[in-house]
Amino acid sequence: MSTQTLKFMRHARRPATQRHWGVDEVEALFKLPFADLLYRAQQVHREHFDPNAVQLSTLISIKTGGCSEDCSYCPQSSFHSTGVEDQKMLGVDRVVAAARYAKQNGADRFCMGAAWREPSDADLARVVEMVRAVRALGLETCATLGMLNDEQTEQLRAAGLDYYNHNLDTAPEFYGDIISTRDYQDRLDTLERVRKAGMHICSGGIVGMGENLTQRAGLVAQLANMEPYPDSVPINNLVKVEGTPLAQTEDLDPLDFVRTIAVARITMPAARVRLSAGRQQMSDAVQALCFLAGANSIFYGDQLLTTGNPDVQRDRALLDKLGMYPLAEKH
Ligand code: SAM
Ligand code: DTB
Ligand code: SF4
């Protein structure tokens, strides 16, 4: 197969062995002069992917609010009063209609998110139906439902779920400042189940939560040192929602967000690095820098889970302006 053909594949090829990244090495990348960092990231990006093709995931919240976890960033936690209305789980037909619409708009993956610590077996049975039906439309499927046990993981795999999203969110050293109702190991255990079952892992985190540079580097090192590192890595910029404990956190410098994307690209060369939450608050120029830094995936559609995302027209205009195109419509 030619290098050109390889670059157009959905997943880039990985070498047989993977290097280990020390937190200090990752931190040193963050400290590079901006132009040097972006140059390295672009080199790595172009070795592994077509730099102008972008993977588009559309999100739907299949169960909103009332979550029993206390994640400080999250508008759906029952510990915070944010004005998010609790809703019971959506029916399969409603989800399939949204997936059909996402596909018509050019999305290639559909991600179903639920505000659960973990699904009940009855909940999971309905998710399984959703996965089968969405897959039948010819979309890749992703779900993010909280912690899973072995049996639930196997049921999702058998239904044909392509990706499971479960974020590490931040460095182990900062985790206890952000969430107290579960620990880091709970996250790692679910990810290991998903890996063993043979589904693709989607795992990333949030920056701009008040973490220091070493902790930001610590998150990237944790992800990059997973064996293998995730196929899909969402990098979220904290969306500050009134009523959450992090609502007053100081804004992250947008260039530090771009640096995070570049460092994720360099340390996880074959992963789809997703420029995730926080895009609505970003200028086109900052988003363009993120693509230059190696982002090759976005959440696409007017809503994330409970907060806004750039509308489809704005995203289409941005991609056109940059000469980029959706993976599903690759030239
Ligand atoms: N309840 C499941 C869980 O926590 O894994 C799935 C849904 S949860 C909303 C999925 C992810 O959304 C979180 O892990 C976090 O990374 C991201 N997220 C939630 N609130 C956010 C916010 N305000 N800003 C940025 N990302 C956020
Ligand atoms: C991810 O990393 N980000 C998405 C998705 N995975 C599930 C969620 C972002 C949520 C932002 C806040 C909200 O809309 O509620
Ligand atoms: Fe619940 Fe997930 Fe929000 Fe945490 S991030 S409160 S687990 S919905």
What confidence tens digit (pLDDT) does each residue in 194-232 have?
999 999 999 999 999 999 999 999 999 999 999 999 999
Burial class (CB in 10 A: 0-12, 13-18, 19+), 209: buried
- Whether 65 is in the pocket of ligand 2, judged by its Cβ within 6 Å, is no
207 in Cβ contact with 73 (< 8 Å): no
Considering 157, 193, 274, 279, which one is annotated as catalytic? 274
Please give the pLDDT value at position 57. Answer: 98
Q: pLDDT above 90 covers what percent of the chain?
A: 94
The pLDDT score that the predictor gives to residue 4 is: 46
d(CA 132, CA 141): 9
Residue 99 tokens read as 């997936």
Q: Is the pLDDT of residue 90 over 90?
A: yes
For the chain, what is the mean pLDDT? 95
Confidence of residue 76 (pLDDT cuts 50, 70, 90): very high
Is the separation of the CB atoms in 38 and 45 below 8 Å? no
Ligand 2, residues 276, 279, 280: which to mutate, most atoms within 8 A of Cβ? 276
Taking 70 as the threshold, does the pLDDT of residue 6 lie above it?
A: no
- Its pTM stands at 0.96
Q: Hey, what amino acid is at 163?
A: Y
Lowest mean pLDDT among 5-9, 13-17, 64-68, 217-221: 5-9
Nearest C-alpha to atom 19 of ligand 1 is from which residue?
A: 74
Cα 272 to Cα 51, 101, 130, 176, 327, distances in angstroms: 11, 23, 24, 28, 12
Q: 237 pLDDT exceeds 70? A: yes
% of the chain exceeding 70 in pLDDT: 97
Helix, strand and coil percent figures for the chain, each rounded to 5:
40, 15, 40
pLDDT of residue 148: 98
117 CA closest ligand 3 atom index: 7
111 is catalytic: yes
pLDDT at 3: 42
Catalytic residue among 40, 187, 193, 202: 202
Are 233 and 213 within 8 A, CB to CB? no
**Nearest C-alpha to atom 6 of ligand 3 is from which residue?**
77
Ligand 1 in contact with 74 (CB < 6 A)? yes
Q: Is the pLDDT of residue 239 over 60?
A: yes
Q: Residue 318 carries which DSSP code?
A: H
At residue 9, the pLDDT reads 57
Among 237, 330, 226, 309, which residue's Cα sits nearest to residue 271?
226
